[in-house]
Amino acid sequence: MSDEVLFSVNQNGTAAIVLNRPKALNSLTYEMVCQIDEKLKEWKTADNISVVVIKGAGSKGLCAGGDIKTLYEARSSTSALQDAERFFEKEYEVDMAVYQFPKPIIACLDGIVMGGGVGLTYGASHRIVTERTKWSMPEMNIGFFPDVGAAYFLNKAPGYLGRYLGLTASVIHAADVLYMNGSDIYMESDDLARLIQKVEHTNWNHVKVEEKLDQMIEECRTEPSQESKLAPYQKAIDHHFRFDTLEEILQSLESEGSDFSVDVKKRLLSKSPFSLKITLKQLAGGKQKTMEECFATDLMLAKNFLKHHDFFEGVRSVLIDRDQSPNYEYQHVSDVTDEVVNQFFHPSESAR
Ligand code: QUE
């Protein structure tokens, strides 16, 4: 077994999952998600385990997402494409297993938590942010779409904030992660480390686990020192992002002309128009869907993106060549027709 993810179980009833690729910001490989899936299945019913902790190795954070550099290889061979498809299937399976896990899971959202890192931990029962948290669904920067259940969980944010976060790929901090319902608890990073130590040294056998855990967390939790940056813009965000077409959203931002709306419009126009339109439809559709349905749609979309030029071009420009100048197939919003978008919401057999 590789050591890209570490598992431990102690006598007291605490189990830990440590994402252990610190040089790659703990980004998730196929082997990692397979191993995590296996352990969660085992731990779900193991009598000797009461609490699970998920954290990242190293000082940078929990997880930057999927191992995109390996996924990039899917452009060049059929077997790499199959590997990439397998990765998404297993990744989403694990994400769902966390939602459905019957015991407390403490997710340490300390430092970088992006994309697949958000997906892995959104369903955890105790999601703890710190002053170091940098949270984002960054897929719009690489010509992809916010996957890992984002159509489900971005719709749990107030109003149309989820659409704003997904479409702009904004990076947010503790207070805003709490505000958008991506976290339950704030504490200082040092206190989180102490809490986890204490959890690991507590004997969970024959105690009321939830009660005792909540008590321990209450002793550590505080409030973020910085207030939500997005809350003051909630009304503006709702006003501009309530539309179901990208053209209307851009039009609305343009007609207002505030610093905020000018900046948001500029950020949107820097993304792949194709990704923006797919994502808007995905997020709008997610409102009426169950968590499972959202993941099923994500899997179909992810597989379709693996056959799409703009995804590889986005990854190339941001993570491979780092020239930040993607040459997307669809350059303008008006180039992406409704027909093209609608077609992408069906399983495809071919076409790149
Ligand atoms: C968008 C993304 C990712 C990203 C950058 C984006 C992503 C991801 C990584 C990443 C970062 C550092 C690494 C690594 C991967 O960057 O998902 O292996 O060392 O994993 O703009 O979605």
Q: pLDDT tens digits, residue range 45-68? A: 999 999 999 999 999 999 999 999
Angle at 281 between CA 293 and CA 176, to 5 degrees: 85
Distance CA 113, CA 158 (A): 20
Q: Which residue puts its alpha carbon closest to atom 8 of ligand 1?
A: 65
Q: Which residues neighbour 319 within 8 Å (Cβ) at sequence distance 6 or greater?
A: 68, 69, 72, 142
Catalytic residue from among 61, 65, 66, 143: 66
Q: Which amino acid is at 279?
A: T
Domains detected in the chain = 5-220 (3.90.226.10), 232-343 (no CATH)
Q: What is the pLDDT of residue 352?
A: 43
Ligand 1 pocket: which of 170, 319, 321, 323 to mutate (most atoms <8 Å of CB)?
A: 319
Q: Which residue puts its alpha carbon closest to atom 11 of ligand 1?
A: 64
Ligand 1 pocket: which of 19, 27, 70, 323 to mutate (most atoms <8 Å of CB)?
A: 27
Instruction: Retrieve residue 316's tokens.
Output: 């190339």
Q: Encode the chain (352 residues) as per-residue pLDDT tens digits.
A: 589 999 999 999 999 999 999 999 999 999 999 999 999 999 999 999 999 999 999 999 999 999 999 999 888 899 999 999 999 999 999 999 999 999 999 999 999 999 999 999 999 999 999 999 999 999 999 999 999 999 999 999 999 999 999 999 999 999 999 999 999 999 999 999 999 999 999 999 999 999 999 999 999 999 999 999 999 999 999 999 999 999 999 999 999 989 999 999 999 999 999 999 999 999 999 999 999 999 999 999 999 999 999 999 999 999 999 999 999 999 999 999 999 999 999 998 654 4
Q: Which amino acid is at 210?
A: E
Q: What is the pLDDT of residues 66-97, one digit of tens each?
A: 999 999 988 889 999 999 999 999 999 999 99
Q: What is the pLDDT of residue 322?
A: 95
- Global pTM reads 0.96
Q: Which residues neighbour 69 within 8 Å (Cβ) at sequence distance 6 or greater?
A: 24, 315, 319, 320
Instruction: For the chain, report the end-to-end CA distance as a whole number of angstroms.
Output: 36
Q: Is 191 a catalytic residue?
A: no
Name the maximum alpha-carbon separation found in the chain.
62
Q: Give CA 174 to chain center in angstroms.
A: 15
Catalytic residue from among 147, 176, 298, 313: 147
350: left (phi over 0), alpha (psi -120 to 50) or beta: beta
Q: What is the pLDDT of residue 1?
A: 59
SS3 7: strand
Q: What is the pLDDT of residue 164?
A: 98
Q: Can you tell me which atom of ligand 1 is nearest the CA of 23?
A: 19
Residues 147 and 298: beta-carbon distance below 8 Å: yes
Q: Which of 8, 1, 81 lies closest to 51 in space, CA to CA?
A: 8
Q: Is 91 a catalytic residue?
A: no
Residues 330 and 188: beta-carbon distance below 8 Å: no
Distance CA 259, CA 274 (A): 26
Q: What is the pLDDT of residue 351?
A: 45
Catalytic residue from among 111, 116, 123, 149: 116
